[in-house]
Amino acid sequence: MPVHRTAVTLADGRELIYFDESPGLDRSTPDKRDLPPPPPASELRYDPLLDDWVAVAAHRQTRTFLPPTTECPLCPSTPDFSSEIPAADYDVVVFENRFPSFSSRVAGVGGTSLTPVTPTRPGAGRCEVVCFTSDHNGSFAGLSPARVRTVVDAWADRTAALNELPEVEQVFCFENRGEEIGVTLHHPHGQIYAYPYLPQRTRQHLANATPTLFADILSAERGGPRVVASNEHWTAFVPAFARWPYEVHVYPHRQVPDIPALDDAERDAFGPVYLEVLRRLDGLFGVSMPYIAAWYQAPTRTGRDVYRLHLQVTSNRRAPGRLKYLAGSEAAMGAWVNDVPPERAAEQLREAKWLP
């Protein structure tokens, strides 16, 4: 089923793109809000201890925080409230974040040194919001496989486009779900960060990667005791080295660098496996599981011959009514202690009651 793409401009000049499952929809409804100009880019400050960059984005302090349902900025607009989406309904929408961590609006930002060892530079790049459904009370787990395919096509479209920006080094698609994780909007949505540098995690992956490392990990897990779900094109498993109490990695069987490289069969097959994973997580304790779902894609310009696309889903819920907090060892030293053996976590997820 082809996705129909329509780009429009919001009142403050930001881009919004409708990804429609039906052709011929009228997407000419204007954004009637009176908005201030988008903020300038953040400032990147170099951390010489970790050889990494930290973005300082003070304008994000004013971002929308847990508004009432009637004022949700991700719902379709109504006669009584104009949201970020001008249309009265939509399938999937992507738009530039109003409070971005990274932006192309870099004039007058950075380019100095705060100390002899702390240079700065503009936080160039781009941040986008992906709305998976117009249903405020929905969830990714509640989507149909066909809608998941639309979301995958939107991720692919945006990854390909953002990879073309000269300042972008890596594109990161992710979803935060649940107040326990720290979400500030309940409407089902994810985000896309186009980084102007390679984050530390990616550099660690590349430093350890060989042409067969990701394939070796998948081969070691397929058919084993930690597999949660699988089909012809994808396998979801709890890795033997899981850090979080409930952590599931989802790998395509074919080594591809990023989401745009997935073929039609792989894009169609992703939804059934991923939806099973999410519904098993929700069924584990009979409550909506908080999680972070993170797509790891190959960088724009380096390591594309060895990096393998994969998804990591991690939850900080370790038991009913109990969360895993990153305290001294994990937060301060990055030295992880997992309370749930990965084999037990996989067994629990396979036994979880869930609605297909």
The tally of CA atoms less than 13 A away on the side-chain side of residue 197 is 18
The answer to the question of whether 72 is labelled as a binding residue is yes
Residue for token pair 């070796």: 216
233 assigned to active site:
no
Any known ligand binding at 173? no
Question: From the candidates 189, 233, 249, 310, which is the catalytic residue?
Answer: 189
SS3 labels along the chain? CCCEEEEEECCCCCEEEEEECCCCCCCCCCCCCCCCCCCCCEEEEEECCCCEEEEECHHHHHCCCCCCHHHCCCCECECCECCCECCCCCCEEEEECCCCCCCCCCCCCCCCEEECCEEEEEECCEEEEEECCCCCCCCHHHCCHHHHHHHHHHHHHHHHHHHCCCCCCEEEEEEEECCCCCCCCCCCEEEEEEECCCCHHHHHHHHHCCCCHHHHHHHHHCCCCCEEEECCCEEEECCCCCCCCEEEEEEECCCCCCHHHCCHHHHHHHHHHHHHHHHHHHHHHCCCCCEEEEEECCCCCCCCCCCCCEEEEEECEEECCEECCCCHHHHHHCCCCCCCCHHHHHHHHHHCCCCC
**How do 291-296 and 246-252 pair as beta strands?**
unpaired
131 is in an annotated binding site: no
Backbone angles phi, psi at 277, to 5 degrees: -60, -50
Bridge partners of residue 43, in order along the sequence: 56, 122
Is 253 annotated as ligand-binding? no
- Annotated binding site: which residue ranges? 72, 75, 136, 187
Residues noted as catalytic: 189
- Annotated binding site for Zn(2+): which residue ranges? 72, 75, 136, 187
